[in-house]
């Protein structure tokens, strides 16, 4: 079950910004980084190139913006600094200030026609940076100037998703108030609700539910927010989802349920909550059994067939047929007999399983 959605992209870019603009190369960039406006003006008067770049493509304006030196930024802008210059990774000065939440500098740059919707090489915008770090005032300033509230990076993450995963509830509410799509999905089908559920952010999750988040949405592998909460052991989140009608018996693409996951992870309190909410316990298989079956089936199948999609579907259907056609105890008995070279004791049961498998493959 994939509940840990890949969020390293923004973290890495923020780190690179810190390294690239905490250091400078030319005297002008160094003065800008330190916020020494007097020295900077003297260098400009002597003919220093206001738009010169260092080896990372950074400019004096970016260095001053990243460090939050408002007076220095304004001095550079007055001397013709390119407000929309990009470094080697496509980052702009506006992105630098959005990362750190310097709203006054954001407004100064926007007043000089900074591109509020510019994207860097990974598709990140100033709004996504600001939302990631929970700078609500900066988010509102960007939205007021036309920032796209549903912009997506190359992995499909939106500002709302990044605010949700980092538990910035105020920022989530500000984005929703400006029309953020509460049910937007990233490239693997994940939503803001799933991210909040995975991380255990109950307050943020409730804010999303209050604005119509689909409690039963699934990502591409069929995983739901309830399954993620069960996997991570977040009791409060699980209760909030159940109170809003989460399907307690929903299955992922391999037949797994929230109850299976909770039992496998040893979350006893969650197991009891799910059972109380109506989770079916007959025939529940530990997730490790299911995964071992699928791994073995797919591995053998790929040795005989070069169509991985067919093999994957065949194995999925096989598991669904077995797991719904008998209980876990019956499966163990059948497996024991198989290992001894004997057939199943109940031929009629085997026929039902094979019939279900055939029906599944025809769908």
The confidence score (pLDDT) of residue 60 equals 96
The confidence score (pLDDT) of residue 318 equals 75
Comparing 354 with 90, the larger pLDDT belongs to: 90
In sequence order, what are the beta bridge partners of 224?
218
Q: What band does 43 get if pLDDT is binned at 50, 70 and 90?
A: very high
User: Comparing 16-20, 289-293, 357-361, which segment has the lowest mean pLDDT?
Assistant: 16-20
Q: What band does 15 get if pLDDT is binned at 50, 70 and 90?
A: very low
The confidence score (pLDDT) of residue 264 equals 80
CA-closest candidate to residue 240, choices 206, 274, 280: 206
The confidence score (pLDDT) of residue 9 equals 46
With 80 as the cut, is the pLDDT of residue 214 above it?
yes
Break the chain into its structural domains and give their ranges: 288-362
CB 259 within 8 A of CB 284: yes
Q: How far apart are CA 264 and CA 258, in angstroms?
A: 10
With 70 as the cut, is the pLDDT of residue 95 above it?
yes
Question: 100-116: per-residue pLDDT in tens?
Answer: 999 999 999 999 999 99
Residues 6+ apart with CB under 8 A from 12: none
In the chain, % of residues over pLDDT 70: 79
The confidence score (pLDDT) of residue 147 equals 98
CB 141 within 8 A of CB 110: yes
Residues 6+ apart with CB under 8 A from 92: 62, 83, 84, 85, 86, 114, 115, 118, 120, 126
Structure letter (DSSP) for residue 224: B
Comparing 254 with 59, the larger pLDDT belongs to: 59
Q: How far apart are CA 200 and CA 283, in angstroms?
A: 29
Q: How far apart are CA 179 and CA 177, in angstroms?
A: 6
Question: 152-176: per-residue pLDDT in tens?
Answer: 999 999 999 999 999 999 999 999 9
With 50 as the cut, is the pLDDT of residue 8 above it?
no
Q: Considering all CA atoms of the chain, what is the largest pairwise distance in Å, rounded to the nearest integer?
A: 94
pTM: 0.78
Average of per-residue pLDDT across 16-26: 59
Average of per-residue pLDDT across 25-50: 95
Q: What band does 77 get if pLDDT is binned at 50, 70 and 90?
A: very high
The confidence score (pLDDT) of residue 12 equals 44
User: Comparing 93-97, 182-186, 218-222, 348-352, which segment has the lowest mean pLDDT?
Assistant: 348-352
């Amino acid at each position: 079950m994939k509940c840990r959605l890949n969020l390293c992209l923004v973290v890495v870019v923020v780190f690179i910004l810190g390294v690239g603009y905490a250091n400078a190369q030319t005297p002008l960039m160094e003065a800008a980084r330190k916020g020494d406006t007097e020295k900077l003006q003297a260098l400009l008067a002597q003919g220093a190139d206001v738009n010169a770049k260092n080896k990372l493509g950074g400019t004096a304006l970016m260095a001053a913006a990243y460090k939050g030196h408002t007076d220095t930024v304004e001095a550079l802008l007055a001397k013709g600094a390119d407000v929309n210059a990009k470094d080697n990774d496509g980052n702009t000065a506006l992105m630098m200030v959005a990362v750190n939440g310097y709203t006054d500098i954001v407004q100064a740059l926007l007043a000089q026609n900074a591109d509020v919707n510019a994207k860097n090489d990974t598709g990140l915008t100033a709004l996504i940076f600001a939302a990631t770090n929970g700078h609500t005032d900066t988010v509102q300033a960007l939205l007021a100037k036309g920032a796209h509230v549903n912009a997506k990076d190359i992995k499909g993450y939106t500002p709302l998703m990044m605010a949700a995963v980092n538990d910035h509830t105020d920022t989530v509410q500000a984005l929703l108030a400006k029309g953020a799509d509460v049910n937007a999905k990233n490239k693997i089908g994940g939503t803001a609700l799933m991210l909040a559920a995975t991380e255990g952010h109950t307050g943020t999750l409730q804010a999303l539910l209050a604005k119509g988040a689909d409690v039963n949405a699934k990502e591409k592998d069929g995983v739901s927010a309830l399954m993620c909460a069960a996997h991570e052991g977040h009791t409060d989140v699980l209760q909030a989802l159940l109170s809003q009608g989460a399907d307690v018996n929903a299955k992922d693409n391999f037949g797994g349920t929230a109850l299976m996951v909770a039992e496998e992870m040893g979350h006893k309190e969650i197991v009891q909550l799910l059972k109380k909410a109506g989770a079916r316990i007959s025939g529940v298989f530990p997730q490790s059994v299911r995964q071992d079956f699928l791994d073995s089936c797919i591995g053998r199948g790929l040795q005989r067939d070069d169509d991985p999609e067919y093999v994957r579907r065949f194995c999925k259907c096989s598991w669904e047929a077995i797991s719904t056609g008998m209980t876990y105890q019956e499966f163990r008995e059948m497996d024991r007999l198989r290992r001894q070279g004997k057939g199943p004791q109940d031929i009629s049961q085997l026929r039902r399983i094979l019939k279900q498998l055939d029906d599944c493959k025809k769908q």
